[in-house]
Structure 1
């Protein structure tokens, strides 16, 4: 694979197809995430509480359907599931124009959210299959492309929100649907993945749910994934309610974070290519999130210039932690899963992220906003504890692959896969 320097697209045709499909679909996702709630409130005229409940239910439904979707990808091929997810996304978002009652809003939101979750589950095995031996680099590149698409989608949604008219929101929904339909064109150019038969001793359908070390890693990554809501939920509320910093800091934080992910994820990801390095990356991310939480906490009560400096430093350190966490999570979730059940395992790994998405905003609001400075330090300590625990759990998972996941694609003996106590 060649993703170097100023190259915009990879050299491989299959990789280019996946990148273009990801760019288009993530633009649609950016529109959905940014303007979905606004559309149902401003156009369908439903109460905000009902919309919040609908999105929460959708999150929980997608949480439990990830594993079955991954199993289907393992048995029928991930490209088929990827294409089906794009079709469902287009149909569900297009159906936004037809809903007029709470039950119909709930239905389309559930379908759209499930489709997005399934898309991610199917994309993992595709990356492993077309990465030309460098899946870490391709995963990082695809994550950068995803952030570009979400940013573009968010800007389009911002235009509709500024206009705040029914025709503007309708055009935005049509654009959202079109993004997923456009993504189908390159998706059909992605080659079919060869189905890997399960070893005789692992014929059980839900082997991933019985893999306790892998489940533990999923939960640890879920704790660390609460960080995704720090800059979008806790920081804005903190800036407004507890600091003297100007409010433009809120949008600047998102811009800086997005730029760092787009520009640096490939460089970081290509270095995290063994379970050992992934565990170290997860541990570093815990330290980074802890330090960032402390800096945010101390911005309260500081002069405006000091608050801006502290918050700026916190955003940069937090973003570095996000780069490490994403790279480490990508590596352990894939390399510790058996090839015959990679989709099912990625569905299980997504449970941690799903729990973070569901409970993270409430936890951050309760701790960091409700409790104030001590709450930020408690949250930082929670991030640190998860990061420090990661190396031991990765060692446990590595040592039990023969029992839980024969066929896992662990690095060959020449690579530093095992984690020594001294190394961590």
Structure 2
């Protein structure tokens, strides 16, 4: 990280805002499920169901809100729109302390998830504008910064879980909300991005790009892997293994240290959609292997369970590096510059899909069913990874056809974006 600092002051500001944001996120990602089960006293089955319902609600909202917010960021300036989504996310997260029942919990989590998805769409034009020649590489740097913040949040979350008191858990939640506020305030130091003119043709061009939509779906299936370490592993560790509970924070720290050290390097050679497709395929294989190793940690001594879980986290994280780098490259490379926010709003629906079905799927298969469920989840990742290269080739053929059509059709001042078919 020290050898790869952001090149400009705007990049440093965006990275600092991202760091503060992810310190708060690390608090919730590490211990959010345990907060609702241990402090709010919601059964694990209700938490899984509630997260699934909240994910579906936020996904439904994201189909309209995420794409619309990305479009607003393109047309009216990304900085102000992104700050607005951070404010909504802070309010929704603070509402967790009032989630004393199932439906208040669902409403609060759904609101936070919808605001997060909209914020990712609004942030896309900022990354593209300030990312230099390869915004995908800057996105990789931001992900490394993200994991520095998450690692710090994980340490603080480990303290809250170890103390286990109502006040400790409340500090965890309110600290997350305050981090979002501070992140938004730092963006005031960032020069605003000038709005981009609207492209000729249909307004919602991203929704007409069928290969991009297919890649969004595949990435959404792969993105369920992000919930493996934050939902499935903590519950599996507590319910099915004899490993010490503090290892929950340990697994997150191992994951984040590897990402911080290796994400920029892992992204370096994934600089074309074809390379991204290969990375998707490799990540699917890695996720399957990690799922198998995790399943073997049940019914063994505590030391063996700890070794197996940590080994699985290392393998899983290698897959995560490939998956993230592939998503960075494909989502940006196949998005026209005049509609970056709109396209990334669509691509973010994949993450919304993972948020919607991931927790319920993982808890039902991996925790409730047990060892066979881990094999099913691993097979799902492999199938999605194998489908990615075929879908990327489809997208490349489609974009090549559009480029030919665009070259044969006169454009206004050379700024007309092709309309995906």
TM over 0.5, yes or no?
Answer: yes
Deviations 1:343-392 (A, max 9, x none): 12112112222212221222223333444444333322221111111111
TM-score, normalization: structure 1? 0.81
Alignment of 1:13 with 2:9, yes or no, is yes
Alignment of 1:284 with 2:259, yes or no, is no
What 5-or-longer segments of structure 2 have no aligned partner? 407-421
- Seen in structure 2, the aligned counterparts of structure 1 residues 154 and 129 have a Cα distance that, compared at 3 Å, is same
For the 8 Å contact 2:154–2:253, the answer to whether it is kept is no
Correspondence for 2:23 among 27, 30, 47: 27
Tell me, in whole angstroms, the C-alpha distance in 2 between the residues paired with 1:229 and 1:20. Answer: 25
- Seen in structure 2, the aligned counterparts of structure 1 residues 403 and 62 have a Cα distance that, compared at 3 Å, is farther
1:173 Cα offset (Å): 5.0
Deviates further, 325-334 or 67-76: 67-76
Deviates further, 88-97 or 189-198: 88-97
Alignment of 1:89 with 2:89, yes or no, is yes
For the 8 Å contact 1:195–1:340, the answer to whether it is kept is no
- Seen in structure 2, the aligned counterparts of structure 1 residues 115 and 285 have a Cα distance that, compared at 3 Å, is same
- Seen in structure 2, the aligned counterparts of structure 1 residues 294 and 31 have a Cα distance that, compared at 3 Å, is closer
Tell me, in whole angstroms, the C-alpha distance in 1 between the residues paired with 2:370 and 2:105. Answer: 36
Deviations 1:106-162 (A, max 9, x none): 555444332222222222221111011131221111112222223333433444455
1:279 Cα offset (Å): 0.9
Counterpart secondary structure, 1:188: helix
Tell me, in whole angstroms, the C-alpha distance in 2 between the residues paired with 1:98 and 1:43. Answer: 11
Tell me, in whole angstroms, the C-alpha distance in 2 between the residues paired with 1:89 and 1:244. Answer: 36
1:324 Cα offset (Å): 0.3
Counterpart secondary structure, 2:363: helix
Tell me, in whole angstroms, the C-alpha distance in 1 between the residues paired with 2:309 and 2:36. Answer: 33
1:237 Cα offset (Å): 4.4
Counterpart secondary structure, 2:224: helix
For the 8 Å contact 2:52–2:355, the answer to whether it is kept is no
Alignment of 1:227 with 2:216, yes or no, is no
TM-score, normalization: structure 2? 0.82
- Seen in structure 2, the aligned counterparts of structure 1 residues 327 and 111 have a Cα distance that, compared at 3 Å, is same
Tell me, in whole angstroms, the C-alpha distance in 2 between the residues paired with 1:100 and 1:248. Answer: 26
Counterpart secondary structure, 1:400: helix
- Seen in structure 2, the aligned counterparts of structure 1 residues 111 and 222 have a Cα distance that, compared at 3 Å, is closer
Alignment of 1:271 with 2:286, yes or no, is no
What 5-or-longer segments of structure 1 have no aligned partner? 408-424
For the 8 Å contact 2:157–2:172, the answer to whether it is kept is yes
Tell me, in whole angstroms, the C-alpha distance in 1 between the residues paired with 2:238 and 2:166. Answer: 30
Equivalence for 2:415: none
Equivalence for 2:152: 152
For the 8 Å contact 1:18–1:187, the answer to whether it is kept is yes
Equivalence for 1:60: 56
1:177 Cα offset (Å): 3.7
- Seen in structure 2, the aligned counterparts of structure 1 residues 403 and 211 have a Cα distance that, compared at 3 Å, is farther
Deviations 1:234-293 (A, max 9, x none): 334444555565655544322211211121111111221111111111111111112222
RMSD (Å) for aligned C-alpha atoms: 3.4
Deviates further, 261-270 or 184-193: 184-193
Equivalence for 1:135: 135
For the 8 Å contact 2:286–2:318, the answer to whether it is kept is yes
Counterpart secondary structure, 2:90: helix
Deviates further, 274-283 or 149-158: 149-158
Tell me, in whole angstroms, the C-alpha distance in 2 between the residues paired with 1:19 and 1:34. Answer: 22
Tell me, in whole angstroms, the C-alpha distance in 1 between the residues paired with 2:37 and 2:306. Answer: 34
For the 8 Å contact 1:68–1:344, the answer to whether it is kept is yes
For the 8 Å contact 2:151–2:252, the answer to whether it is kept is no
Correspondence for 1:368 among 347, 366, 371: 366
Correspondence for 1:215 among 213, 216, 240: 213
Equivalenced residue count is: 401
Equivalence for 1:415: none
Equivalence for 1:378: 376
Equivalence for 2:338: 340
Tell me, in whole angstroms, the C-alpha distance in 1 between the residues paired with 2:316 and 2:282. Answer: 11
| Alignment map for 1:177-326 (pairs within 5 Å) | 177-200=177-200, 203-239=201-237, 249-300=247-298, 307-326=305-324
